[in-house]
Amino acid sequence: MNPSKVIREKVVKLTDLPNIGVSMAKDLRFIGINTPDDIQGKDPFELYKALIVKSGKRQDPCVLDVFMSITDFMNGGEPKVWWDYTQERKKRYLTGNKS
C-alpha cells in the first residue's frame, strides 16, 4: 500500500503495510510471514536472506529496502516510502554493519 494511505489501526493483512502489494505479499507468505504481526521483531536482512535462499534467486536490493520499511513500521516507525531506506541500507549492509 502507498505509505501515505496506511492507517496503523487498520493494518490487518500484508497488503495493508506500507510498500506491500500483491506480489510482495506473496513473497512474504513464501518465507512464512502471513500477517503483519509476524513481522514484529524480525530483522529485515534475515527476511531478505530467507527469500534468496528459499527462492534460489538473487533478489533486487530494493526488496531489502522494502523489508526495512515494514519492519521499521511494525516496530512503531512511521510509514515511509521504501526508497527512504536506500541510503541506510547501503550504509548498513554494504559495509557489513548490521547493527
**In-domain check, residue 98:** no
**In-domain check, residue 69:** yes
**In-domain check, residue 35:** yes
Query: Can you give the pLDDT at residue 49?
Result: 97
**In-domain check, residue 66:** yes
Q: What's the whole-model pTM score?
A: 0.92
Separation of alpha carbons 72 and 82, rounded Å: 11
Write out the residue range of the structural domain in which residue 46 sits: 3-93
Q: Are 18 and 73 in contact (CB under 8 A)?
A: yes
Query: Can you give the pLDDT at residue 93?
Result: 80
Q: Which three cell numbers stand for residue 31?
A: 518465507
**Structural domains counted in the chain:** 1
Q: Which three cell numbers stand for residue 77?
A: 516507525
Nearest to 70 by CA among 9, 25, 22: 25
Query: Can you give the pLDDT at residue 94?
Result: 76
Separation of alpha carbons 93 and 45, rounded Å: 8
Report mean pLDDT in 10-residue bins for the chain, 99 residues.
94 98 98 97 97 96 97 96 96 69
